A = this chain, B = another copy of it.
Amino acid sequence: MKKSDRSVTIKDIAREAGVSISTVSFAFNGTAPVAQETKERIFEVIKRLNYQPNSAARGLVTRKTNNICLFTPHPASDFFSFSGNSVFSDLLQGIGDVLDQRDYNLLIAWDNLGHKAKTPKLVKLMRERAMDGVLIALPSHDSSVIEELSEHQFPMVIVGTNDRKNQINSVDVDNYDIGYRNTKHMLGLGHSRIAFISPGPLEFLVCEDRLEGYRDALQEAGIKYREDYVFIGDEKEHSGYRAASSFLSLKETPTAVVSGRDIQAVGVLEYARENGLSVPNDLALISFENTELAQKYNITSSTTDLYEIGKEGAKLLHKVLTRKKDRSAQNVVIASELIIRSSCGAKPKS
């Protein structure tokens, strides 16, 4: 192990196999025909010496790194805490499954606020060509970084709500539509006083979309949108609790709640329990995500399959990376399904 400081290179293989380095390259990459006999000799040596081409050298000439970056334009803490457990790991897993299979490495990066002086990390990664393409998770309105990559036509796919449809590739469920349909579902059950809990700050596009779906469904039903029926929650159960508390202290209390995420719905349930309210009789409840929580607490919820989003996002990026001519942006919509459980079931009292 003393001399293994110096890795084995293509020259070593060539010498040992008695051929030129081009032939080794052709054989290894299958990029030109090589005599069967020669090929066998070469591969024997490759195996014996544990040869693996140096990625920097190869990348220098091919202009590819085989690195894909998963990026989120937020401080890591915000991203992870907003996403919650399963959400993030599901997304990562979907991405990872595809990249593994196609032999890409996964880089992970986020915006380091506080370092605002330096060039943003993602821009640096692009300029120094440290990655071939990027998956953007949880985009927000302020997207100067995305803009910059976009100007340079850097390959990217947004996994999540996309502000600029038809300009940038994206994969997501249709949060607007789910918001719309969840609300519609409550309207269909006879509710007219329907409140909404945002899954997080409206700065996150996904939150805005869900809210707008809610708003438009109300409007279509001729119901006025009221500010006091909207609560901006966060990723904690307690924000659902506080939302419920806020709604139910109004003069005219809502009879139904469209919760922005399952864990908030759990908070609503908790408040209802403590205050002797029956769900769905006193308060009907519907949510987004359909996580394990929804199942555990019997909450009606619309699926948002993050694994699928990750998988399709990675696939799309790979497609972009391997096709010759650029085509117009593609916006993939992952189907969502409403899983009906007891929390929304009954007609309202009034």
Interface residues of A (CB under 8 A from B): 1, 4, 7, 50-57, 59-60, 65-67, 76-77, 80-81, 84-85, 88-89, 92-93, 96, 100, 105-110, 112, 115, 119, 121, 124-125, 127-130, 151-153
Query: In the complex, which residues of chain B have a beta carbon less than 8 angstroms from the beta carbon of A7?
Result: 127, 129
A100 to B105, CA, bound (A): 19
Are B89's CB and A76's CB within 8 A? yes
Q: Are A107 and B110 in contact (CB under 8 A)?
A: no
| Cβ-neighbour of A129 out of B56, B93, B107 (below 8 A) | B56
Q: Check B96 against A55 for contact (C-beta < 8 Å).
A: no
Residue of B nearest to A7 (CB): B129
**Min distance, Cβ A149 to any Cβ of chain B, angstroms:** 12
| Contact assessment for A100 and B128 in the assembled complex, using a CB-CB cutoff below 8 Å | no
Choose among B105, B109, B130, B151 the residue that contacts A55 (Cβ–Cβ < 8 A). B130
Q: List 13 A-B contacts (CB under 8 A).
A: A1-B152, A1-B153, A52-B124, A53-B128, A56-B65, A76-B89, A76-B96, A80-B92, A84-B85, A96-B110, A100-B121, A107-B107, A108-B108
Are A128 and B1 in contact, CB atoms less than 8 angstroms apart? no
CB-CB nearest in chain B for A237: B296
Identify the 4 closest CB pairs spanning chains A and B, nearest first: A85-B85, A80-B89, A52-B127, A56-B59
Residue of B nearest to A148 (CB): B50
Copies of this chain: 2
Partner of A125 from B105, B127, B128 at Cβ < 8 Å:
B105
Q: How far is the CB of A342 from chain B (nearest CB, A)?
A: 20
A169→B181 CA distance, assembly (Å): 54
Task: Kindly state the separation between the CA atoms of A100 and B4 in the bound complex, as whole angstroms.
Answer: 31
Which B residues lie within 8 Å of A52 (CB)?
119, 124, 127-128
Residues on the B chain within 8 Å of A77, using CB: 89, 93
Contacts of A151 in B (CB 8 A): 1
How long is the Cα–Cα vector from A84 to B89 in the complex, in angstroms?
9
Q: In the complex the two chains form, is A106's CB within 8 Å of B105's CB?
A: no
In the bound complex, how far is the Cα of B109 from the Cα of A66, in angstroms? 14
Pair B129/A55 contact, Cβ less than 8 Å:
yes
**How far apart are A173's CB and chain B's nearest CB, in angstroms?**
21
Q: What B residues does A56 contact at CB under 8 A?
A: 55-57, 59-60, 65, 129
Nearest Cβ in chain B — how far from A59, in angstroms? Answer: 4
Q: CB distance A105 to B93 under 8 Å?
A: no
- Indicate whether A105 sits within 8 Å of B109 (C-beta atoms), given known contacts A54-B60, A60-B60: yes
Instruction: Kindly list chain B residues whose C-beta atoms are within 8 Å of the C-beta of A66.
Output: 130
Docked CA distance A1–B147 (Å): 14
Chain B CB count within 10 A is highest, among A59, A119, A121, A153, for A59
CB-defined contacts of A129 to chain B, threshold 8 Å: 7, 54-56
